[in-house]
Amino acid sequence: MIISTLSSIGQSKDEQAVADAVKKLNQAMIDANNMALDQLTAAGLSYGHSNGLVENKDAYITAIVDGTSRFTSIDVSEQTISISDNVAVVRHKFVAGTANKGQEPGTVKLSVLQVWQKQKGKWLLLARQAVRI
């Protein structure tokens, strides 16, 4: 289940589109959906984990799909979206159930910064960095 406290009231069309893209990305992570992850991320993706690991697009998608990074639930709160031209900065709290390959099921609580870029009319995740709360 994905929960977002971001209200669509007062949001611009682009802000709503970015909020929708964030929700789709989180669902694709839960579903380990290779195609959706590919379609929602930019070719030059830089995906930073809270443990310091930084992955490119291929490594990020592979880790989700093969279960190295497995999410059973993702709840997002306190989300803000700021847009400048074709770049959106998203910040939120991210609480997720995990079942990573080789590890006991657990929970992560993170503060996340995402950078989305509008490319050919679509918002794509360009960068992400997380820190533990």
What is the per-residue pLDDT across 55-109, written as a single tens digit (0 to 9) for each? 999 999 999 999 999 999 999 999 999 999 999 999 999 999 999 998 999 999 9
Does the pLDDT value for residue 42 go beyond 70?
A: yes
String of DSSP letters for 51-116:
TS-EE-HHHHHHHHHTTSS-EEEEEEEEEEEEEETTEEEEEEEEEEEE--TTS--EEEEEEEEEEE
pLDDT of residue 9: 54
Mean pLDDT across 107-132: 98
3-state secondary structure of 3: coil
The ranges assigned to domains in the chain are: 13-132
| Whole-model pTM over 0.85 | yes
Neighbours of 5 (CB within 10 A): 11
Q: Are 17 and 40 in contact (CB under 8 A)?
A: no
pLDDT of residue 11: 76
- The mean of the pLDDT values for the chain is 93
pLDDT of residue 4: 41
CA distance 112 to 95: 10
Q: Was domain 13-132 assigned CATH 3.10.450.50?
A: yes
Cα–chain-centroid distance for residue 117?
A: 13
